[in-house]
Amino acid sequence: MSSDAFSILGCEPRFDIDLRHVERTYRELAKALHPDRYAQCSASERRAALERASAVNEAWRILKDPVRRAEALFALASVPVGEGKEPQPNAEFLMAMLEERETLSQARRDGDAAGVAAIAASVRKRVRSLEDRLTAGFAHGPCESRVHALVGVLGELRFCRRILSEIDEFDDFEKKGSP
């Protein structure tokens, strides 16, 4: 069984994969390989099934998440990504994010739910445009020369997603105690 997430789930290595279709393939494979189906089998079959079922689950976990999916694409293109291997996002982006963050903490202090929602919307919009760039970059497969310049996009995407998850956590905190 090949080891990259795209080939495990039988789809082309692109950013804009049809998640609904990939999920169907994932379910079929998960059904065929789930340890429950091999409960009465020999140890070697149980092990072989467990290993593959784990790999299939891992592949789906990678493909369904935009950041992990992009990381996998860069890895296929032999472009190193991850902590310390990527260039810093550009100053303009960092400034913009700093501002968003400041507005966010102000909105939090004021308990301004509408303000927080507005920031979330603006960050989501940014996420969509970053994802569009990844889609275009990987439209012809993971080719190193084409995608090298896109590493920065991945960094920005991570940044935006982190802010969004902080906003979610804030929502939790906000509603704590009252149903």
Partner 1 sequence: MLLDIFDPKAPPRAIGIDLGTTHSLVAFVSDECPRVIVDCNGKSLVPSVVYYGERGEVVVGDPAVSRAADEPQVTIASAKRLMGKGADDPQTRQFGPYSFIAPAPGEANVVRFAVRERGITPVEVSAEILRALKRLAEDELRSVGGAVITVPAYFDDAQRQATKDAARLAGLDVLRLLNEPTAAALAYGLESKQNGTFAVYDLGGGTFDITVLVLDNGVFQVKSTGGDSALGGDDMDRVLAEELLHLAGCEQSAQSPERIRVALDVARKVKHGLTDALEVEVENPFGVTPPTLVIARSRFEQLIEPLLARSGVACRRALRDAELSAQDLDGVILVGGATRVPAVRAFVRHLFGKEGLSGINPDEVVALGAAIHANQLAGLASSSEALLLDVIPLSLGIEVGGGVVDRILPRNTTIPAVARAVYTTQEDNQTGFEIHVVQGERELASDCRSLARFLLRGIPPMPAGLARLEITFRVDADGLLSVHAREERTGIEQAVHVKPSYGLDDASVEQMLMAAIDHGEEDLRARRLAEARTDARRMAASTEKSMAQDPELLIDGERESIERALRELERAVHGADIAALRGQIEHLDHATKAFAERRMNSAIAKALEGQAVERVEQRVEHAKGIEAAHEFKRAGVSALEDASPSE
Which residues make up the interface to partner 1 (CB under 8 A)?
1, 10, 21, 24-25, 27-37, 39-45, 47-55, 57-58, 60-61, 168, 171-172, 175-179
- Which residue number, 58 or 112, has a Cβ lying nearer to partner 1? 58
SS3 content of the chain, % helix, strand, coil (to 5): 75, 0, 25
- Which residue number, 26 or 93, has a Cβ lying nearer to partner 1? 26
Residue 30: half-sphere exposure toward Cβ, Cα within 13 Å = 12
- Which residue number, 29 or 107, has a Cβ lying nearer to partner 1? 29
CA distance 75 to 70: 9
- Which residue number, 69 or 93, has a Cβ lying nearer to partner 1? 69
Closest Cα partner for 137 from 2, 16, 24?
16
Task: Give the nearest distance from C-beta 112 to partner 1 in angstroms.
Answer: 20
Task: Give the nearest distance from C-beta 26 to partner 1 in angstroms.
Answer: 9
Task: Give the nearest distance from C-beta 83 to partner 1 in angstroms.
Answer: 10
Task: Give the nearest distance from C-beta 9 to partner 1 in angstroms.
Answer: 9
Give the distance from CA 69 to its chain's centroid: 5
Kindly list the distances between the CA atom of residue 14 and the CA atoms of 52, 53, 63, 150, in Å, as whole numbers in the listed order.
23, 23, 10, 14
